[in-house]
Amino acid sequence: MRNRLVLGFVALGMAAVPVLAHHSFAAEYDPGKPVKLKGKVTEMEWINPHSWIHLDVTGADGKVTSWMIEGGSPNALLRQGFTKTALPAGAEIVVEGYQAKDGSARANGRDITYADGRKLFMGSSGDGAPDAKK
Amino acid sequence: MRLCLAVSLIASLCVTAYAQAPAKKYTPPKTPDGQPSIEGFWTNTTVTPLERPKDLGSKEFFTPEEAAAYAKKVLETKEVTGPGTYADVHYDMSQFGLTRAQNKIAGNTRTSIIVGPEGRVPAMLPAAAQRNAARAAANKGHEFDGPENRGLAERCLLWGNEGPPMLPAGYNSNLQIVQGKGYVTVMQEMIHDVRVIPTDGRAHLDPSIRQWFGDSVGHWEGNTLVVDTTNFTDRTAMRGSSENLHVVERFTRTDDDTVLYQFTVSDPSTWEKSWSGELPMSKTAGPIFEYACHEGNYGMANNLSGARAEEKAKASK
Amino acid sequence: MYAEGLETGFVDFGQAVTIRSRSRMNLASTITSSIATFVLIAASAAGQTAYKAPRVDGHPDLNGIWQANNTANWDLEGHAAAIGPVPSLGAEFAVPPGLSVVEGGKIPYLPEAEAKKKANFARRFRDDPEIRCYLPGIPRATYMPYPFQIVQGRTQIMFTYEFAGGVRSVNMGKAGEAPVDSWMGWSAGRWEGDALVVDVTGLNAKTWFDRAGNFHSNELHVVERYTPRSADTLMYEATMEDPKTFSKPWKISMPLYRRVEKDARLLEYKCPEFTEELIYGPLRKQPKKQIE
3-state DSSP of A9-33: HHHHCCCCCCHHHHCCHHHHEEEEE
Residues A83, C179: C-beta atoms closer than 8 Å: yes
- What's the residue count for chain B? 317
Whether residues C38 and C88 fall in one domain: no
Q: CB-based contacts of C199: which residues, under 8 Å, 6+ apart?
A: C175, C187, C188, C189, C190, C221, C222, C223
Kindly write down the DSSP assignment for every residue of C80-121, as one continuous string. Answer: --B--S-GGGGGGGPBPPB---BTTSS--B-HHHHHHHHHHH
The identity of residue A26, as a single letter, is A
Residues C190, C212: contact at Cβ < 8 Å?
Answer: no
Domain extent, residue C84, equals: 56-278
> Which residues is B110 bridged to in the sheet?
B61
Q: Give the pLDDT confidence score for residue A24 in this predicted structure.
A: 79
Half-sphere exposure of A47 (CA within 13 A, CB side): 21
Cβ neighbors of C180 (< 8 A, separation 6 or more) are A46, A74, A78, A83, A84, B289, C202
Beta strands C167-171; C186-192: pairing state: parallel
Q: What is the CATH number of the domain that holds A51?
A: 2.40.50.1010
Residues C61 and C148 occupy one common structural domain: yes
Candidate from A28, A34, A47 with C-beta closest to B296: A47
User: Does some domain include residue A16?
Assistant: no
What's the mean pLDDT in A80-109? 96
Helix (H) or strand (E) holding C278: helix C276-280
ipTM surpassing 0.90: yes
Checking if the pLDDT of B123 tops 50, the result is yes
pLDDT at A20 over 80: no
C-beta separation of A86 from A77 below 8 A: yes
pLDDT tens figures, A31-44: 999 999 999 999 99
Q: Are residues C93 and C211 in the same domain?
A: yes
Name, in order, each residue with C-beta under 8 angstroms of C6's C-beta and a sequence gap of 6 or more. Answer: C19, C20, C21, C30
> How wide is the angle at C-alpha C111 spanned by C-alphas C108 and C114, nearest 5°?
65
Sign of the CA dihedral running B9, B14, B19, B20: negative
What is the rounded distance in angstroms from the CA atom of residue C168 to the CA atom of residue C148?
Answer: 11
Q: Contact A82/C181, CB-based, under 8 Å?
A: no
- Asked if residues C254 and C70 have their Cβ atoms less than 8 Å apart, the reply is yes
- Please give the residue that has the higher pLDDT: either B218 or B87: B218
Q: pLDDT tens, B262-298? A: 999 999 999 999 999 999 999 999 999 999 999 999 9
Q: Which of A19, A27, A124 sits opposite B94 (nearest CB)?
A: A124
Decide if A22 is inside a domain.
no
- Pair C31, C77 in one domain: no
> Rounded to 5 degrees, what are φ and ψ at B195?
-95, 125
Q: Is residue A5 part of a domain?
A: no
Give the model's confidence band at A64: pLDDT under 50 very low, under 70 low, under 90 confident, else very high.
very high
| Cα C141 from Cα C2, distance rounded (Å) | 43
- In a shared domain, residues C106 and C236: yes
Average pLDDT over residues B287-315: 96
Same domain, C35 and C151: no
Distance CA A114, CA A93 (A): 4
Cα(C53)–Cα(C194) distance, integer angstroms: 8
Q: Which residues of chain C have pLDDT under 70?
A: 1-50, 290-292
B222-267 tens-digit pLDDT: 999 999 999 999 999 999 999 999 999 999 999 999 999 999 999 9
- C36 and C80, same domain (yes or no): no
Helices (H), chain A: 9-12, 25-28, 75-79
Min Cα–Cα distance to chain B from C290, Å: 15
Per-residue model confidence as pLDDT tens digits over B41-69: 999 999 999 999 999 999 999 999 999 99
**Res B45: pLDDT:** 96
Chosen from B39, B176, B212, B295 to mutate, greatest number of chain C CBs within 10 A: B295
DSSP lists the bridge partners of residue B15 as: B3, B107
Chains with at least 3 CB pairs less than 8 angstroms from chain A: B, C
> C184, C141 in Cβ contact below 8 A?
yes
The counts of H helices and E strands in chain A are 3, 7
One domain, residues C243 and C107: yes
State pTM to two decimals. Answer: 0.88
Please, are residues B24 and B223 in contact by the beta-carbon 8 Å criterion?
Answer: yes
Structural domain contains residue C288? no
On whether the CB atoms of residues A23 and B299 are closer than 8 A, the answer is: yes
Is B295 close to A51, i.e. CB distance below 8 A? no
Which residues are CB-contacts of B102 (< 8 A; sequence separation ≥ 6)? A76, A122, A125, A129, A130, A132, B9, B10, B94
Compute the nearest-CA separation of B182 from chain A (Å).
30
Q: Is the CA virtual torsion C3, C7, C8, C14 positive or negative?
A: negative
Q: Is residue C289 part of a domain?
A: no
How many Cβ atoms from other residues are within 10 Å of residue A5's Cβ?
Answer: 20
Compare all CA atoms of chain B with the CA of C288 and give the residue at the minimum distance: B146
Q: What was the pLDDT predicted at A11?
A: 32
The contacts of residue B92 (CB under 8 Å, 6+ apart) are A4, A5, A110, A111, A112, A119, A124
Looking at residue C14, its pLDDT comes to 36
Q: How many CB atoms lie within 10 A of CB B46?
A: 26
B87 band by pLDDT with thresholds 50, 70 and 90: confident
Instruction: Characterise B34 by phi-psi region: left (phi > 0), alpha (psi -120 to 50), beta (else).
Output: left
Residues 15-54 of C with CB under 8 A from B: none
List CB contacts (< 8 A) between A46 and chain C: 180-181
Structural domain contains residue C180:
yes
What residues in A contact C177, CB-CB < 8 Å?
83
- Separation between Cα atoms, residue A75 and residue B151, nearest integer Å: 23
Which pLDDT score, from 0 to 100, does residue B114 have? 98
* Coil vs helix vs strand at B227: strand
pLDDT (0 to 100) of residue C263: 86
Question: Is C285:B307 a contact under the CB 8 Å cutoff?
Answer: yes
Average the pLDDT over A2-31 and give the result.
53
C-chain residues within 8 Å CB-CB of B308? 283, 285
Among C189, C201, C197, C184, CA closest to C153? C189
Q: What is the mean pLDDT of the segment spanning B164-177?
A: 97
Contact list in A for residue C180 (CB cut-off 8 A) is: 46, 74, 78, 83-84
Which residues sit opposite C109 in a β-bridge? Answer: C246
Whether residue B177 contacts residue B42, with contact meaning beta carbons closer than 8 Å, is answered with yes
Mean confidence (pLDDT) of chain B: 92
Asked if C208 and C171 sit in the same domain, the reply is yes
Is the pLDDT confidence value at A19 over 70?
no
Mean of pLDDT over chain C: 88
Closest alpha carbon within chain B to A19: B170
From chain B, pick out residues whose CB is under 8 angstroms from the CB of A96: none
Instruction: Give a three-class secondary structure readout of B15-51.
Output: EECCCCCCCCCCCCCECCCCCECCCEEEECCCCCCCC
pLDDT level of residue B22 (50, 70, 90 thresholds): low
> What does the pLDDT read at residue C6?
37
- Does one domain contain both C175 and C235? yes
In a domain, residue A51? The reply is: yes
Render the burial of C33-54: b for 16+ CB within 10 Å, e for the rest: ebeeebeeeeeeeeeeeeeebe
Measured CA to CA, the distance from residue B42 to residue B254 in angstroms comes to 13
Of B4 and B167, the one with more pLDDT: B167
Give dist(CA B106, CA B39) in Å, integer.
17
Chains touching C, CB cut-off 8 Å, 3+ pairs: A, B
Section B206-227 average pLDDT: 98
Tell me the one-letter amino acid at A71: G
Task: Please tell me the total number of residues recorded for chain A in this structure.
Answer: 134
**Interchain contact, C280 vs B147, CB within 8 Å:** yes
Indicate the Cα dihedral angle C159, C164, C165, C168, nearest 10°.
-30
Residue C262 lies in a domain: yes
User: What residue in A sits closest to C180 (Cα-Cα)?
Assistant: A84
Residue-range domain boundaries for chain B: 2-80+90-137+155-294
pLDDT for res A132: 34
Q: Does a structural domain hold residue A13?
A: no
C69-105 pLDDT, tens digit per residue, is 999 999 999 999 999 999 899 999 999 999 999 999 9
The residue in chain C having the minimum alpha-carbon distance to the alpha carbon of residue B32 is: C57
Give the total number of structural domains in chain C. Answer: 2
Closest residue of A to C182, CA-based?
A47
Total structural domains within chain A: 1
Output the pLDDT for position B20: 44
